[in-house]
Chain A
Amino acid sequence: MSLKLSIRLVQLLIFGLAFFFFAILSRAFPFFPSSLQILRASGELFVSGDVYAHIFITLYETAAGFVIAIALGIGIGLLLGVDRTLGEVFEPIILSSYAIPKIIFLPLLLVIFGVGISSKIANATLHAVFPIILNTLVGIREVNRVHVKVARSMNATKAQTFTKVYFPSMVLPVFAGMRIGVGFGFLGSLLAELFEAKTGLGFLVASFYNTGQIAKMLAVILFVFILTMAINAGMMGMENRLSHWRKATWRN
């Protein structure tokens, strides 16, 4: 049996163990629903069609926040990378801000943007922007000086040097920042919805919790888990395609 197949089988096994894990939990804790109850709750949610509007809202907030974060993140990252002084002044600030749990700013965002969808998008942006700034900054700093020298020696214009040397050098680190950022953006939307919302997956979790519908709550949580894996897999897939030049070896 090939190694890849063995790995896949083990992964499937671990996934299957999750069911047993839930069975144990429902035996141990009286209010914890059984796997069957969770399945039935999922059926009610996904067949009745109620949940889809909420899924769409959360995804919309994440996407909007992510797009804004990309524009802001790459813009700021480039600025700090290109201008030495600005970089020296702001990089330590941004690095330390990265460590602050940004969720603490949610009440402030609610005051500024209100309780509607804007505050959720703002929170998603706030969470997603930092890894993008930092990865862009690192990306531009790590452009190989010899590569720039090659372009100069061949009389490249500034624009050509940017598109043909800087940009291809930076694609991978910036994309990695975006991959991390989209996950944080998703988190930002969900947290904001948990806290203060009338729609969205986070709202559903809070609402089912408050009304004691634990099985449905768990169904939504499991869905978020699967959705996260899917988004991540998508991003990793893209990243792999973009980096094939790095992975190529004598053998392939």
Chain B
Amino acid sequence: MEELIVVKGVSKVFEDSSAKSGDPIEAIRNADFQVRRSEFVSLLGPSGCGKSTLLDIVGGLERPTSGEVVIEGEKIKGTHPKVAMVFQPMSVFPWRTAVENAEFGLELQNVAPKLRRQKALEVIQLVGLARFADKYPSQLSGGMNQRLAIARALALDPDILLMDEPFGALDEQTRFLMGLELLRIWEATKKTILFVTHSISEAIQLSDRVLVMSARPSVIREEIIIPLPRPRTIESLTTDIATSIERQIWDILKVEATKALTGDVN
């Protein structure tokens, strides 16, 4: 199956909105895109533009008002077993140790204790937290906790990872390093990744393709292919090509971000 994720004509209108006027909020309008196997695609847009909602819809947590999402050839009716999500910090369970967090999904599936502990330790190892398996999230840094969130998602062996601004709350350096870490895990596991972000540089650092979204009602304004070679290093990310792509994206995004800022939205 070449196209793992197909989003067709997805729109989302929130009827009982908390908007002052009480009018329904049209969050997404006619989103259409595909993601191929093992691709890394980013959804980039200004704050509040509905990209998280779109990700929730692909993940089966929200129903679209119209349109459909097809995953591995089948229209989804809810959550898909081969799709795992990673949310913004702190989504790890503070009352569980790292390895207990990692085995959460397996626990839900009633996998035997020995087997799920083994699998959990494998993914903990993969994200580089082997030494901290028995530590609690309060003993780990923000970056480590996000790696744990990724491990927890990977424990169920999904084909697709949906990531909602996972590095948003981290400082700039940690963010960049976590990006490299994520790419390392991606190269090792060959997962298909759909990544939501509001950071242009992050989208360019990580993705094969960037889908630039408008302010609400969100449409996909532009699809930008990132031709930069992998692995993406600080050198390749500061070349002229990279800079011109960044400027190109900013020109599109500037208009949308201003709309979001001034409240000139639906």
- Give me the interface of A with B, judged by CB distance under 8 Å: 146-147, 149-156, 160, 164-165, 168-169, 171, 245-250, 252
Contact = CB atoms under 8 A, between A and B. Distances in A.
A150 B85 CA distance: 8
B138 A248 contact: yes
A248 B91 contact: no
Interface string B69-102: 0000000001101001101101101111000000
Given A146-B90, A245-B136, A250-B139, 20 more contacts: A149-B61, A150-B85, A150-B104, A151-B108, A153-B60, A154-B79, A154-B104, A154-B156, A155-B81, A164-B107, A164-B108, A168-B95, A169-B95, A245-B94, A245-B96, A245-B138, A246-B138, A247-B138, A248-B135, A252-B139
A168 B93 contact: yes
A152 B135 contact: no
Contact of A152 (B61, B81, B90, B104): B61
5 contacts: A150-B152, A168-B95, A169-B95, A249-B139, A252-B139
B108 A156 contact: yes
A160 B139 contact: no
A3 to B, nearest CB: 23
A44 to B, nearest CB: 50
A237 to B, nearest CB: 19
Contacts of A146: 87-88, 90-91
B138 A249 contact: yes
Nearest to A151: B108
Nearest to B97: A245
Given A164-B104, A248-B135, A149 B84 contact: no
Interface string B240-266: 000000000000000000000000000
Interface in B83-142: 84-85, 87-88, 90-91, 93-96, 104-105, 107-108, 135-136, 138-139
B91 A150 contact: yes
A250 B136 CA distance: 10
Nearest to A247: B138
| 3 closest residue pairs by CB, A with B | A153-B85, A248-B136, A168-B95
B59 interface: yes
Nearest to B79: A155
Contacts of A247: 138
Contacts of B61: 149, 152-153
A146 B136 CA distance: 18
A156 B85 CA distance: 14
Centre residue among A153, A155, A168, A249 by max chain B CB count within 10 A: A153
A198 B70 CA distance: 75
A249 B136 CA distance: 8
A146 B84 CA distance: 14
B136 A147 contact: no
A126 B104 CA distance: 40
A170 to B, nearest CB: 11
A245 B95 contact: yes
Contacts of B85: 149-150, 153
Contact of B79 (A153, A164, A165, A248): A153
A158 to B, nearest CB: 12
A252 to B, nearest CB: 8
A154 B108 contact: yes
B87 A149 contact: yes
A97 B108 CA distance: 41
A180 B60 CA distance: 42
A227 B51 CA distance: 58
Contact of B139 (A150, A153, A248): A248
Contact of B108 (A155, A168, A171, A246): A155
Contacts of B81: 155
Centre residue among A150, A160, A246 by max chain B CB count within 10 A: A150
Contacts of A160: 108
Contacts of B108: 151, 154-156, 160, 164
A246 B61 CA distance: 30
A99 B90 CA distance: 36
Contacts of A168: 93, 95-96
A165 B94 CA distance: 11
Contacts of B79: 152-155
Contacts of B139: 248-250, 252
A155 B82 CA distance: 11
